[in-house]
Amino acid sequence: MKVSDLLKVEFIIPHLKGENKQAVINELIDLFKNDPRVEDLEKVRAAVLDREKVMSTGVGKGFAIPHGKTNAVKEIIGAFGRVPEGIDYDSLDGSPVQLIFLLVGKDNLISTHIKLLSRISRLMNKDDFRNSLIEAKDAQEIIKLFNEEEEHFLEL
């Protein structure tokens, strides 16, 4: 599975309104309010926020990847958002976060979940790619950037 398979225009927020970590995570989770793949949105929220309590998912270089596993989803779901001005996220490197990729997987799809986390991390580790995402004008351009960048990686 590719990251670009998860992302659709309706699951991208080019300018998140939240001013703190919990607010932006909730904003991304709320994109799935009426999604038939989600059986219980509050269980999804709890899974992601509980994981965040273990250790910040602000991995550095202005990027965070909040994630969790729960059987409240029928399949792996993902969303992406930007905070162009950056927010405090308790990142591992202490830097503000501008790019946030939410990933929620099923309890029994651990291998795919881990592979997707790894793939997202590899993509986001590239300075040029992160800068392109920050400068993208809209959700369509963000999807195009993910599609183009993923063409450089082998299929999972």
Number of domains in the chain: 1
- CATH number of the domain enclosing 43: 3.40.930.10
Find the catalytic residue in 15, 67, 113, 152. 67
Q: pTM, whole model, 2 decimals?
A: 0.92
80-111 pLDDT, tens digit each: 999 989 999 999 898 999 999 999 998 877 77
Residues spanned by the domain of 108: 3-150
The answer to whether 67 is a known catalytic residue is: yes
Name the burial class of residue 146, with classes exposed (0-12), middle (13-18) and buried (19+) by CB atoms within 10 angstroms of its CB.
buried
Alpha carbon distance 133, 112 (integer Å): 24
Residue 128 counted as domain residue = yes
